[in-house]
Amino acid sequence: MPTTVAVIEATAGKRMSFYIVDCGLSSDDKEKMKKAFPPSNGRVTMNFIELPDRSKGRQDPSWAKIDAVGHLPTEWVLLLDSDILVRHDLGELWNLNLQGKMFAAVRDIGFPMGHEGVQRGPYFNAGVMLIDLAKFRTRLDSLVEVVGERPQTAYKDQDALNVFNGEWQEIGVEWNATGLGTYAKMHAADRAAVWPNGELDKLKRSAKIVHFTGPVHPSLSRVLDKYNQPWTSKPWGCAGAPGHPFASDWFAVLGRTAWKDWVRSKERERDMMDAEQRVIDEGVKEFKERVKAARKLFECE
């Protein structure tokens, strides 16, 4: 099973074409993804875009959406990360007027004014983007230059896209609700300035697209950090996503797909046990390395 699953149910009467960026999916995965759609009488089509072996996205899926821009056979696209849950008719977002901008996106809840890896200013999360591809492709070479020239920062493609274009249309935070149950509820000056009227708290009920940010399997130090609880991670990982208001909804949707038996399968049980052991082993290794480094530092003083 792929590590993430996004299921979108077609709205009656609307034609929808989905393009899945293939960074190494198996034939079995593709067949199961096709079965995730209800019968549609030809209204819904699914196509797989296979990136070239030497592409940056093939080596690191984080960059897949940038590579995909040059391969999608369309002039208008709604790009969605795979770790999301759609709770609303996407037609409303699809018909948005971009007002001459190349794309629309949602302010990042974790870093609404950016972070140390990018220039301070309005900073969007790249997990949901509505793009005028015809206009975007006119500057694709410039984006490729930005990606190739700047040092890699924490949020990779997202940082590159923010640096590349400062003129984007901001859309409501309900269209890309990140950090629910964790940092979205933690006070920060930038968050309070951007969303002063309790908009983030309302997302527990009003989110139209839920984005499950964070690692699949959180590190040992992240789980044990008592100052940042609950930790941020995905519901389907070995530690789950305690406190996330839509974690159970994700599993409920999964139960309507070809992967419905995976949740209670021996395969998942084995995978989760193996993942937990890797987390523990990596945590012990990190502990020993930090102790060694600290001793060496103080011995030199």
Q: Residue 124: pLDDT above 90?
A: yes
Which tops the pLDDT comparison, 59 or 232? 232
pTM: 0.90
Contacts of 199-206 with CB under 8 Å at 24 or more apart are 199/173, 200/109, 200/173, 203/173, 203/174, 203/177, 204/180, 204/245, 206/174
Identify the band that residue 64 occupies on the pLDDT scale cut at 50, 70 and 90. confident
Identify the band that residue 227 occupies on the pLDDT scale cut at 50, 70 and 90. confident
For residue 40, the model assigns a pLDDT of 60
Tokens of 37: 């759609």
Assess if residue 261 is contained within a domain. Answer: no
Classify residue 80 as exposed, middle or buried by CB count within 10 Å of its CB (0-12, 13-18, 19+).
Answer: buried
Q: Residue 52: pLDDT above 90?
A: no
Assess if residue 244 is contained within a domain. Answer: no
Sign of the Cα pseudo-torsion (158, 209, 180, 246, in order): negative
Span 254-291, pLDDT tens digits? 888 888 899 999 999 999 999 999 999 999 999 999 99
For residue 117, the model assigns a pLDDT of 82
For residue 24, the model assigns a pLDDT of 80
Assess if residue 68 is contained within a domain. Answer: yes
For residue 191, the model assigns a pLDDT of 96
Q: Residue 44: pLDDT above 90?
A: no
Identify the band that residue 216 occupies on the pLDDT scale cut at 50, 70 and 90. very high
Assess if residue 125 is contained within a domain. Answer: yes
Assess if residue 91 is contained within a domain. Answer: yes
Identify the band that residue 4 occupies on the pLDDT scale cut at 50, 70 and 90. very low
Q: Mean pLDDT throughout 205-209?
A: 94
Assess if residue 249 is contained within a domain. Answer: no
Q: Mean pLDDT throughout 43-57?
A: 79
Q: Mean pLDDT throughout 85-101?
A: 91
Count of domains observed in the chain: 1
Query: Are 183 and 60 a contacting pair, CB within 8 Å?
Result: no
Identify the band that residue 65 occupies on the pLDDT scale cut at 50, 70 and 90. confident
For residue 38, the model assigns a pLDDT of 62
Assess if residue 246 is contained within a domain. Answer: no
For residue 167, the model assigns a pLDDT of 86
Identify the band that residue 41 occupies on the pLDDT scale cut at 50, 70 and 90. low
Domain that holds residue 92: 16-213
- CATH number of the domain enclosing 115: 3.90.550.10
Mean of the per-residue pLDDT values of the chain = 88
Span 156-195, pLDDT tens digits? 999 999 998 878 999 999 999 999 999 999 889 999 999 9
25-39, 75-89, 282-296: least confident range: 25-39
Assess if residue 291 is contained within a domain. Answer: no
